[in-house]
Chain A
């Protein structure tokens, strides 16, 4: 029993929060701002509690397993959740269904935790569904807008489609091997064509969820239509969780197939970077712009995945940490602007610096980090991804990646130029920033600057991966 509590602590805490939120809707009504404080406090406690009393081991016949690395991954996701609750305070306070939004987001987070900890394909599938269905419901919470319903509809249909493909793959794996246990599958993989087919189906579903090109078509519409807090959750937390699971599944379970997935990842990565970058070039809406930029970032993550080494796994986890800071900072600023002014076009950001210097500096820092300009952490993240990718000796692949970094530099700096240099008759009026939001923005900014300089972060992750 004691072991059960220590090992499942992150999940149990999330469940406790979900039930507290549910009860808060009954009887004694909290007002919005008290409820928001309660939620932020609980998330903060949850994040801090993640560092203490952790164990390693497995439960329920290897259905659930955990290790220091998995605990670290969960802590990173918890951090992202805390930042989201602080960054979008204003939007959340205005939302009519505040408790429900957080119940749905926390359920999705719980699903991601199950998925990361799963030791069985069945449990993995359950976690994946739990990580998508509640977010699709939350995507429609801009109740008065039609695009919001459209986004939810597109997301639920495309995720159901990809789940169908994944289930088909899982059933083929069960048919070919007679087991779904992650610890038994590697020994049974012998390169049989049915197994390869099953693996490709599973891989496709992963690609769908990570919005890898050519499975990315849902991404931009869903990101544009959802309320911005949910968009940030989707693009940062969901994507990070899937990247973690992708790495551990490929490296541990499907290791015998690494020659097969190396080629697949290489082709997909090149396509993802190119399409993501080229489409981001011509976006006018800031949310769509960030959506395509996040597609391009996934392409870079895949370079790290393709290396099939300890360094590769480390660099992916490190990059996700950096990506959480930079992308959340970008979404935080875009969210403030769209909440207070309703403006979402890049042209509206012209001369943003004159009226909102703090916000434009944070935004610029985030964009620098996303494009990988030193000395921001994004530079180190990409550097590690590319060096681990280089260990395979496939230099043509790396040259394409480097060229893509140049393209991305162009469109990220275009926004920076609009903010700092372009003239505008009526720029966005000065925005009154909430105290909580300000803290979160500073944490993001600090993370972007400092995570690159503290080399022990990378070393620490690497020690855990081993």
Chain B
């Protein structure tokens, strides 16, 4: 019972995450949808704690649940979206969606089922192995990995962010140009 405790906690958290994820897409009100997404993010963050990735869990909460969700909420409120303005999807679209989603689910289940059947011992031992590396998620180790093994992608991404900023500035300027011509 005790040995399997992480597994039970995992299933509980996974259930919560999936439940709220379903609520995200079924909720009629966009704001409710956003709030359910926050809860999904929290459940996933709790899963990270279970994997000994404490820093990742904190970052997940601060960045996703904190910053990004606030942005979402702002956008939804500023655009004044609500249940009435939601586009109505035709039955044909819904039907096609169900077929595509169902086929993907079937494929996944089949692939995983076959894969687990092939390599049963490996799959079962993964959750049990993790507590042994209890230092894996500490900031110190993360820093070592980030600035030693992955230093190149870490530095390279700065140019991508720079270019995204430049693009955003140019697009932001566009509004000003139009306003000044209107005046």
Given A63-B153, A137-B167, A137-B170, 10 further pairs, Cβ under 8 A: A59-B152, A64-B152, A100-B166, A104-B166, A104-B167, A122-B153, A126-B157, A129-B160, A137-B164, A193-B115
State in angstroms the CA–CA spacing of A243 and B16 once bound together: 43
User: Is B86 positioned at the interface, with any CB of A under 8 Å from its CB?
Assistant: no
Q: Can you pick out 24 interface pairs between chain A and chain B where the beta carbons lie within 8 Å of each other?
A: A60-B152, A63-B153, A100-B166, A104-B163, A108-B163, A111-B160, A114-B156, A126-B153, A126-B160, A130-B160, A133-B160, A134-B164, A134-B167, A137-B166, A137-B167, A137-B170, A137-B171, A176-B115, A192-B119, A193-B111, A193-B115, A193-B118, A194-B111, A197-B107
Tell me if A103 and B160 are in contact (CB < 8 A): no
Q: Binary interface profile of B, 133-170, with partner A (CB < 8 Å = 1, else 0)?
A: 00000000000000001111100110110111011111
**CB contact list, B87-122 vs A, under 8 A:** 107-108, 110-112, 114-115, 118-119
Contact A107 to B159, CB < 8 A, known contacts A100-B166, A134-B164, A197-B108: yes
State in angstroms the CA–CA spacing of A321 and B163 once bound together: 28
Question: Number of residue pairs across A and B with beta carbons under 8 Å?
Answer: 84
8 closest residue pairs by CB, A with B: A137-B167, A194-B115, A107-B163, A60-B152, A193-B114, A197-B111, A193-B111, A134-B163
Contact A110 to B107, CB < 8 A, known contacts A61-B149, A122-B150, A192-B115: no
Contact A140 to B107, CB < 8 A, known contacts A59-B152, A63-B153, A133-B160: no
**CB-defined contacts of A111 to chain B, threshold 8 Å:** 160
Chain A residue with the shortest CB-CB distance to B114? A193
User: Is B3 positioned at the interface, with any CB of A under 8 Å from its CB?
Assistant: no
Q: Binary interface profile of A, 120-146, with partner B (CB < 8 Å = 1, else 0)?
A: 001100110110011011101101000
**CB-defined contacts of A59 to chain B, threshold 8 Å:** 152
State in angstroms the CA–CA spacing of A388 and B65 once bound together: 53
**CB-defined contacts of B166 to chain A, threshold 8 Å:** 22, 100, 103-104, 137
**CB-defined contacts of A126 to chain B, threshold 8 Å:** 153, 156-157, 160
Contact A123 to B167, CB < 8 A, known contacts A176-B115, A192-B115: no
**CB-defined contacts of A100 to chain B, threshold 8 Å:** 166-167, 169-170
**CB-defined contacts of A122 to chain B, threshold 8 Å:** 150, 153
**CB-defined contacts of B83 to chain A, threshold 8 Å:** none
**CB contact list, A394-443 vs B, under 8 A:** none
Tell me if A141 and B170 are in contact (CB < 8 A): yes
**CB contact list, A360-415 vs B, under 8 A:** none
Tell me if B159 and A130 are in contact (CB < 8 A): yes
Interface centre among B149, B166, B177 (most CB of A within 10 A): B166
The distance from the CB of B158 to the nearest CB of chain A, in whole angstroms, is 10
**CB-defined contacts of B168 to chain A, threshold 8 Å:** 137
State in angstroms the CA–CA spacing of A127 and B156 once bound together: 9
The distance from the CB of A89 to the nearest CB of chain B, in whole angstroms, is 20
**CB-defined contacts of B152 to chain A, threshold 8 Å:** 59-60, 63-64, 123
Which of A127, A143, A193 is B177 in contact with, Cβ under 8 Å? A143
User: Is A94 positioned at the interface, with any CB of B under 8 Å from its CB?
Assistant: no
State in angstroms the CA–CA spacing of A193 and B168 once bound together: 42
Tell me if A133 and B163 are in contact (CB < 8 A): yes
Chain A residue with the shortest CB-CB distance to B164? A133
Interface residue ranges, B against A (CB under 8 Å): 107-108, 110-112, 114-115, 118-119, 149-153, 156-157, 159-160, 162-164, 166-171, 174, 177
Chain A count of residues within 8 A CB distance of the other chain = 37
**CB-defined contacts of A138 to chain B, threshold 8 Å:** 167
**CB-defined contacts of A278 to chain B, threshold 8 Å:** none
User: Is A18 positioned at the interface, with any CB of B under 8 Å from its CB?
Assistant: yes
**CB-defined contacts of B159 to chain A, threshold 8 Å:** 15, 18, 107, 110, 130
User: Is A38 positioned at the interface, with any CB of B under 8 Å from its CB?
Assistant: no
**CB-defined contacts of B111 to chain A, threshold 8 Å:** 193-194, 196-197
State in angstroms the CA–CA spacing of A127 and B108 once bound together: 28
The distance from the CB of B174 to the nearest CB of chain A, in whole angstroms, is 5
Tell me if B171 and A140 are in contact (CB < 8 A): yes
Chain A residue with the shortest CB-CB distance to B115? A194
Contact A193 to B170, CB < 8 A, known contacts A61-B149, A133-B160: no
**CB-defined contacts of B112 to chain A, threshold 8 Å:** 194
**CB-defined contacts of B157 to chain A, threshold 8 Å:** 126
State in angstroms the CA–CA spacing of A130 and B108 once bound together: 30
Interface centre among B110, B157, B162 (most CB of A within 10 A): B162
Chain B residue with the shortest CB-CB distance to A131? B160
State in angstroms the CA–CA spacing of A59 and B152 once bound together: 9
**CB contact list, A89-112 vs B, under 8 A:** 97, 100, 103-104, 107-108, 110-111
Tell me if B114 and A107 are in contact (CB < 8 A): no
Interface centre among A59, A108, A136, A143 (most CB of B within 10 A): A143
**CB contact list, A7-23 vs B, under 8 A:** 15, 18, 22
State in angstroms the CA–CA spacing of A143 and B162 once bound together: 21
State in angstroms the CA–CA spacing of A60 and B153 once bound together: 10
Tell me if B108 and A107 are in contact (CB < 8 A): no
Interface centre among B110, B159, B163 (most CB of A within 10 A): B163
State in angstroms the CA–CA spacing of A15 and B155 once bound together: 12
**CB-defined contacts of B174 to chain A, threshold 8 Å:** 143
Chain A residue with the shortest CB-CB distance to B117? A193
**CB-defined contacts of A141 to chain B, threshold 8 Å:** 170
**CB-defined contacts of A193 to chain B, threshold 8 Å:** 110-111, 114-115, 118
State in angstroms the CA–CA spacing of A15 and B174 once bound together: 26
The distance from the CB of B105 to the nearest CB of chain A, in whole angstroms, is 13
State in angstroms the CA–CA spacing of A91 and B149 once bound together: 44
